[in-house]
């Protein structure tokens, strides 16, 4: 115990301690014996100061209307030059799933991100208090980006390092994008070619794509508040059909109500619509 808790060995596992000692012509016990002793002494944790840093989950957030919580991320788009990529910046509103801003550049940059959020913020007429969630990359936490957020009154929120599940809406959006049938099998021929393709994708996604998480209304319809009337119409058609065909129906008609709250990283056990945006 004195050896394994010494300054030299207290941060190392027995699998490394034993070989080091053998190289010095010393042997106290096998690895399994050292593990057994450590278990008996209830010391199967980090014995030194170098304990792993705990990563708190991001604060649980909830949106009850559009333009309250946005998430954004950057993904790679293959270019015609081997080993080089185009970088797609994309912002999505978690309540409506609408893509509120996007841009493509040949590099990752905090300045590019700042200009994009400023354009989207102006286009949507956002009031102060918007939360913008992202990963921990340098474009997300760069000084230019953080200064712009402060200037706009936007509250930054960040995922834990290397935890993609903390940013599920953007991750799923990129998956939907890259699984489109017309997404190039090899690469985009140029930056302008990539911009043209993404422009058409955004037009389809926002205005034509009937979103499964939105009970098959489009993000634009949800964002504009048209979903309530659409759902009432669907329900009315089903109720009328049920009255005319009572023998075919058991129980109530299908529930077309959309949730009035959308959660981002809710606490464990908290019910919320947060898992998928595809």
Note whether 103 and 206 are same-domain residues.
Answer: yes
Burial string for 102-137 (b: 16+ CB within 10 Å, else e) reads bbbbeebbbebbbbbbbebbeebebeeebbbbbbeb
Note whether 4 and 118 are same-domain residues.
Answer: no
First and final CA of the chain: distance in angstroms?
54
What is the residue whose two structure tokens read 């941060």? 11
pLDDT on residue 56: 60
**Which has more pLDDT, 33 or 66?**
66
pLDDT on residue 57: 60
In a domain, 168, yes or no: yes
In a domain, 262, yes or no: no
Q: Are strands 69-78 and 131-134 parallel, antiparallel or unpaired?
A: parallel
Note whether 87 and 161 are same-domain residues.
Answer: yes
In a domain, 119, yes or no: yes
93-118 residue pLDDT tens: 999 999 999 999 999 999 999 999 99
Quote the radius of gyration of the chain (alpha carbons, Å): 26
Mean pLDDT computed over every residue of the chain:
86
For the cut 90, the answer to whether the pLDDT of residue 70 exceeds it is yes
Residues 6+ apart with CB under 8 A from 222: 66, 95, 96, 97, 98, 211, 214, 258
26-43 residue pLDDT tens: 888 888 888 888 888 877
Note whether 128 and 208 are same-domain residues.
Answer: yes
For the cut 90, the answer to whether the pLDDT of residue 59 exceeds it is no
Q: What is the dihedral of CA 21, 26, 28, 30, to 10 degrees?
A: 60
Q: How far is CA 94 from the centre of its chain?
A: 10
Residues 6+ apart with CB under 8 A from 71: 91, 92, 94, 132, 133, 134, 167, 169, 170, 264
Note whether 139 and 47 are same-domain residues.
Answer: no
Note whether 226 and 206 are same-domain residues.
Answer: no
pLDDT on residue 276: 38
Note whether 32 and 167 are same-domain residues.
Answer: no
| Residue 60: φ, ψ to 5° | -65, 130
Note whether 83 and 123 are same-domain residues.
Answer: yes
116-128 residue pLDDT tens: 999 999 999 998 8
pLDDT band for position 18 (cuts 50, 70, 90)? confident
**Number of compact structural domains in the chain:** 3
In a domain, 274, yes or no: no
In a domain, 205, yes or no: yes
Note whether 196 and 76 are same-domain residues.
Answer: yes
Per-residue tokens: 208: 């034509």
Note whether 42 and 67 are same-domain residues.
Answer: no
Give CA–CA dist 203/213, Å, rounded.
18
Indicate the residue among 214, 240, 272 that finishes a domain: 214
Cβ neighbourhood burial of 256 (10 Å; 0-12, 13-18, 19+)? middle
Rounded to two decimals, the pTM is: 0.75
| DSSP structure string for 88-110 | EEEEEETTT--EEEEEEESS--H
pLDDT on residue 267: 65
* 237: containing domain: 219-257
In a domain, 105, yes or no: yes
């Amino acid at each position: 115990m004195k050896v394994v808790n010494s300054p030299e060995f207290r941060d190392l596992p027995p699998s490394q301690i034993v070989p080091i000692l053998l190289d010095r012509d010393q042997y106290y016990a096998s690895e399994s014996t050292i593990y057994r002793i450590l278990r008996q002494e209830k010391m199967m944790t980090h014995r030194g100061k170098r304990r792993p840093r705990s990563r708190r989950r991001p604060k649980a957030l909830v949106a009850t209307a559009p333009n309250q919580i946005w998430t954004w991320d950057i993904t790679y788009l293959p270019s015609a030059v081997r080993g080089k990529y185009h970088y797609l910046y994309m912002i999505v509103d978690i309540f409506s799933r609408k893509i509120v801003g996007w841009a493509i550049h040949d590099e990752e940059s905090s300045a590019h991100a700042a200009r994009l959020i400023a354009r989207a913020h102006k286009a949507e007429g956002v009031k102060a208090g918007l939360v913008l969630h992202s990963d921990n990359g340098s474009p997300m936490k760069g000084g230019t980006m953080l200064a712009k957020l402060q200037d706009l009154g936007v509250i930054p929120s960040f995922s834990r390092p290397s935890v993609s599940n903390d940013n599920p809406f953007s991750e799923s959006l990129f998956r939907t994008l890259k699984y489109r049938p017309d997404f190039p099998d090899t690469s985009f021929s140029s930056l302008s070619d990539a911009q043209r393709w993404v422009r058409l994708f955004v037009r389809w996604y926002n205005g034509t794509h009937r979103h499964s998480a939105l009970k098959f209304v489009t993000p634009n319809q949800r964002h504009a508040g048209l979903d309530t009337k659409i759902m009432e119409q669907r329900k009315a058609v089903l109720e009328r059909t049920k009255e005319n065909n009572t023998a075919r129906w058991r129980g109530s008609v299908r529930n077309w109500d959309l949730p009035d709250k959308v959660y981002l990283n809710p606490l464990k056990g908290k019910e919320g619509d947060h898992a998928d945006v595809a």
